[in-house]
């Protein structure tokens, strides 16, 4: 992988790595030595992997790891770095100083500074921006920040209301979207609070700041993904689905389109929201951006909307109509796992239209479907492809010749 440093061999031709510089687990030179509660030191990646596989004891002492706090061993790391520098003539490179994850106490201090008692709005917003930077910096930081305490504090900051500075509100929502929400926070602390739901709808529909609308849409997506109860409440709230559609229709901001599609897909996981999404114009909006960003989720959302009354009609009516939708979905069949959902949506769209079946064949559907049936797709994806192949067979002028090729289609049909 780019940027990955290969481990040093244990024994070089004329040099040996000191044993106390080696991780007891991997026996390789430690790059980020950390000490566990038993007093033993390991390379961070090795001990994290040890615990992640279900081990609860210290590898050396076999004593229980009563807590899993990793304390950086700065002294040992500096000694290892000095040893590397001293042995450069042997081709040894100095190990870089590792970026340490955020300290929980530091996160709590920033949350206190960002809270309502943290001073003026500018200072509070600066603290939230620092939290956002930490969350973006690394997965380790996000793990440290993904606590109920942090999520509840961010929800309180984001939804204080009473005319607070929109930057503070928007930045807090951005951090929430990165850190995520648990099921309990999504249900009890957002979905069960009408004022908070309404505020999301207001921002999505009325805010003059595209960044604020994007951040609000991201909160909708993480909340809808966390809980089916939250999905229902979000879908029922004025402005939320229409606001996501507005994001999808943004012409010059791919992030807005991505967040809008992700949000619509998450909401459409609940059946009652699919009809609402169709009514808000989501089906047409998503199909027009299909292939630009979030192709898999976009195709999945379209397939879900095609399953409800009016979904198919929403795609084939209006400017461009069915041919535009068919062409976009056929193209999506060439994009990995989006193929299954695009095929499923096409079955619904072309099943009762000879003209759209012809459009699908013209767009190259047959070649994509043959690849799906023959390739490494799931059984469910292959079944959808076979159904669509049967629908399109009559619209394929040269199907007789191809049917006899390797006996493939004869077996399929």
Instruction: Annotate 355-369 with three-state secondary structure.
Output: HHHHHHHHCCHHHHH
25 versus 140: which is more confidently predicted? 25
At 67, the pLDDT band (50, 70, 90 cuts) reads confident
Contact 301, 336 (CB under 8 A): no
The tens digit of pLDDT for each residue in 306-332 reads 999 998 888 888 656 788 889 999 999
Contact 179, 146 (CB under 8 A): yes
Burial (CB count within 10 angstroms: exposed 0-12, middle 13-18, buried 19+), residue 253 = middle
166 versus 65: which is more confidently predicted? 65
At 6, the pLDDT band (50, 70, 90 cuts) reads very low
pLDDT at 131 over 70: yes
At 155, the pLDDT band (50, 70, 90 cuts) reads very high
Residues in Cβ contact with 306 at an 8 Å cutoff, skipping those fewer than 6 apart: 283, 312, 315, 344, 345, 348, 349
Helices of type H across 74-165: 74-86, 104-114, 121-137, 139-145, 148-158
Mean pLDDT of 353-379: 86
Q: pTM, whole model, 2 decimals?
A: 0.77
**In the chain, what percentage of residues exceed pLDDT 90?**
55
Highest mean pLDDT among 277-281, 370-374, 396-400: 277-281
pLDDT at 5 over 70: no
Query: Across all residues in the chain, what is the average pLDDT?
Result: 86
Mean pLDDT of 125-143: 90
- Given this model, what pLDDT does residue 409 score? 43
Least confident among 244-248, 304-308, 331-335: 331-335
Cα–Cα distance for residue pair 44/33, rounded to 1 Å = 6
């Amino acid at each position: 992988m780019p940027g990955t440093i290969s481990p040093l061999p244990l024994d070089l031709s004329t040099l040996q790595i000191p044993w106390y510089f080696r991780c007891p687990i991997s026996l390789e030179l430690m790059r980020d030595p950390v000490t566990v509660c038993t007093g033993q030191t390991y390379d961070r990646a090795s001990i994290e992997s040890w615990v992640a596989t279900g081990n609860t004891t210290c590898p050396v002492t076999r004593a229980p790891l009563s807590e899993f706090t990793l304390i950086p061993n700065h002294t040992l790391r500096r000694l290892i770095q000095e040893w590397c520098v001293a042995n450069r003539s042997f081709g040894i490179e100095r190990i870089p100083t590792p970026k340490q994850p955020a300290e929980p106490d530091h996160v709590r201090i920033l949350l206190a500074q960002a809270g309502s008692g943290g001073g003026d709005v500018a200072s509070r917003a600066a603290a939230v921006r620092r939290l956002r930077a930490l969350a973006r910096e690394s997965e380790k930081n996000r793990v440290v920040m993904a606590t109920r305490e942090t999520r509840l504090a961010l929800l309180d900051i984001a939804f204080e209301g009473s005319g607070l500075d929109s930057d503070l509100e928007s930045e807090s929502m951005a951090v929430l979207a990165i850190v995520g929400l648990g099921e309990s926070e999504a249900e009890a602390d957002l979905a069960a609070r009408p004022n908070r739901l309404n505020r999301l709808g207001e921002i999505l529909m009325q805010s003059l700041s595209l960044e604020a609308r994007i951040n609000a849409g991201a909160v909708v997506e993480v909340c809808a993904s966390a809980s089916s109860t939250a999905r229902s409440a979000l879908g029922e709230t004025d402005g939320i689905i229409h606001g996501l559609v507005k994001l999808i229709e943004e012409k010059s901001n791919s992030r807005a389109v991505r967040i809008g599609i992700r949000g619509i897909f998450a909401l459409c996981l609940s059946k009652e929201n699919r009809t609402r999404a169709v009514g808000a114009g989501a089906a047409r909006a998503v199909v027009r951006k299909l292939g630009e960003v979030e192709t898999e989720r976009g195709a999945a959302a379209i397939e879900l909307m095609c399953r409800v009354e009016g979904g198919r009609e929403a795609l084939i009516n209006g400017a461009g109509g069915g041919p535009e939708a068919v062409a976009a979905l056929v193209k999506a069949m060439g994009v990995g796992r989006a193929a299954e959902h695009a095929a499923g949506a096409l079955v619904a769209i072309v099943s009762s239209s000879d003209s759209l079946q012809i459009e699908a064949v013209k767009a190259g559907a047959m070649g994509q479907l043959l690849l799906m049936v023959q390739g490494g797709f799931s059984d469910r994806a292959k079944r959808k492809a076979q159904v669509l192949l049967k629908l399109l067979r009559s619209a394929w002028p040269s199907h007789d010749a191809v049917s006899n090729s390797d006996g493939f289609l004869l077996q399929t049909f």
